[in-house]
Amino acid sequence: MIVQIEKLDHYGRGITKINNKICFVENALPKETVEIEIIKETKKYFLATPKKIIKESKDRVLSPCPYESICGGCNLAHLSFTKEQEFKKEKVKEIMNKFAKIPSDKIKPIIYDKPYHYRNKITLHTNGNKIGLYQKESNTIIPIAKCLLLNDKLNEELGNIKPKTKKDIILKIGNKTDEILSPTNKKDYIISYIGNKKYKISEKSFFQVNSIITEKLYEEIKRIIQEKKSKNVLDLYCGTGTIGIYIHECVDKVLGIESCKEAVEDANDNKKLNNATNCTYKLGKVEDLTTEITKEYDMAIIDPPRNGLHKNVIEKLLEITPKNLIYVSCDPVTLARDLNLLKEKYKVEYIRPHNMFPRTYHVECISILTKKE
Ligand SMILES: C[S@@+](CC[C@H](N)C(=O)[O-])C[C@H]1O[C@@H](n2cnc3c(N)ncnc32)[C@H](O)[C@@H]1O
C-alpha cells in the first residue's frame, strides 16, 4: 500500500490515515510518499513499517549508525538535526496547548548543542553470553561495538566489558575528569564537573546524561534565582544535590529532598566538596516529607522523574505557594498535566525546551512560574 505522510507524532513516527483510521509509520517523514507494510492493527490505529520510500523528504538524512534498523534508541536519526529542533519545539507547543491551555508564545526557542557523542552514561544489558542494547521493542540483546550517542572514551571502554553475569552493567564518565565508572576498574564513584562545581556520582545515583546541556540548564536556573532574588530554596528530587549546589552562593539556604539513599550520600559529600555549608539534605519521598515544605521557602526547584508530581506535592505547593517555582521535566505530558493544576495559583512565565537527548524523541523542559498577585 502507498501512503502520503502528513506529520510526525510525538514519538517521531510518521502519521497518515487509512480509511479514516490513523496509521503510524516508523522511519517516515512529513510529505514523503511511502510504500508501507502494516504490522499491527487495533480498533483505533494501524502500525506500519516502510518497505520503500518512493518520494523522499528534503529533511531526510542518512543515519550514520550501523545499528539503526535494529536498535530502538535513535528515533530521529533519519531527520536532519535542524528539523529535530523544530520537531521538539512544536511538540512542546502542542502538548502545552492541549493539556494546559498554555499559548505558543510562552514556549521559548530550544537550546541545543551537538547531535552525537553527548552521553556520559550507558546501561548495557547482558544474559551472561551476549552484552549490548535491546533490539527495538524486544528484550533480545544486540551486541554493539559502539554507540554514536556515547562519549568516545566510554565507547573505548565498551570493548573491555565481558558478559560475566546477567546483571545490567552501567558505565559512566566524569565531565572534564574523564574518570570512568566500570566493572573493569571497580571504582565506587567518579568525579564530574558542571561549570566549576565538582560532583561525586555513584553507580545508583542519578546524574543528567548530557553534561553540555546540563550546564546550560543550570546556568538558566542560576540566572532566574538571581533575577527573582530567591533566598530560601527547596531543591525537590535533588539527586546528588547538583542544582542546589550550583546556585548555593546566590541564596541563603537550600533544602534538598531525594528518595535514593546513595544519591543523598553523594549530595552530602558534594556539599563538602563545594563548601556548600548552606545546603541540607533529607532522605525520603517528597510526597512523604511534605511537612518539610514550609512557608519560609520563597523558591522551589522541582525536578521529578518522568511520572511528574504526586498529588500531595501539588496540594502542598498550592497551600504554601512559594513566590516562584522552577519546574524541570523530561516528559512534557506530565509537565503539562502538573502545570495545569499549578495554574490555579501560578502564572507560567515561560517554558524552554532543552535538547538533552539529541536524535531521540525525548526533550527536557524548564518552566518558570510566578505566584499570582
Ligand atoms: C530527574 S532526577 C533529578 C535529579 C537532580 N535534580 C539533577 O538534576 O541531577 C529525579 C530524581 O528524583 C528521585 N526521585 C524519584 N522519585 C522520588 C520521590 N518520590 N521523592 C523524592 N525523590 C524521588 C530520583 O532518585 C532522582 O534522583
Interval 298-333: pLDDT, tens: 999 999 999 999 999 999 999 999 999 999 999 999
CA of 266 to the centre of ligand 1 (A): 13
Of ligand 1's atoms, which has the minimum distance to the CA of residue 263? 27
Q: For ligand 1, is residue 218 a contact (CB within 6 Å)?
A: no
- Which amino acid residue places its CA nearest to atom 1 of ligand 1? 305
Last residue of a domain, one of 186, 202, 218: 202
Span 122-154, pLDDT tens digits: 999 998 888 899 988 888 999 999 999 999 999
Residues 99 and 189 in one domain: no
Q: For ligand 1, is residue 305 a contact (CB within 6 Å)?
A: yes
CA of 39 to the centre of ligand 1 (A): 37
Is residue 72 in a domain? no
- Which amino acid residue places its CA nearest to atom 26 of ligand 1? 239
The gap from C-alpha 256 to its chain's centroid, in whole angstroms, comes to 20
Is residue 75 in a domain? no
Mean pLDDT across the stretch 67-93? 95
DSSP state of 109: P
Residues 180 and 214 in one domain: no
CATH of the domain at 223: 3.40.50.150
Of ligand 1's atoms, which has the minimum distance to the CA of residue 238? 6
Is residue 65 in a domain? no
Mean pLDDT across the stretch 96-124? 97
**88, 95 in Cβ contact below 8 A?**
no
Residues 192 and 278 in one domain: no
Mean pLDDT across the stretch 3-29? 97
Residues 259 and 168 in one domain: no
pLDDT at 43: 95
Tell me the whole-structure pTM to 2 decimals: 0.96
Is residue 67 in a domain? no
Residue positions annotated with a catalytic role: 330
Q: Is the pLDDT of residue 348 over 80?
A: yes
Task: Print the domain residue range for 43.
Answer: 2-59
Distance, CA of 117 to CA of 105 (rounded, Å): 32
DSSP state of 342: H
Mean pLDDT of the chain: 96
Is the four-CA dihedral 314, 316, 321, 326 of positive or negative sign?
negative
Distance, CA of 2 to CA of 20 (rounded, Å): 15
Residues 300 and 358 in one domain: yes
Residues 102 and 250 in one domain: yes
Residues 188 and 330 in one domain: no
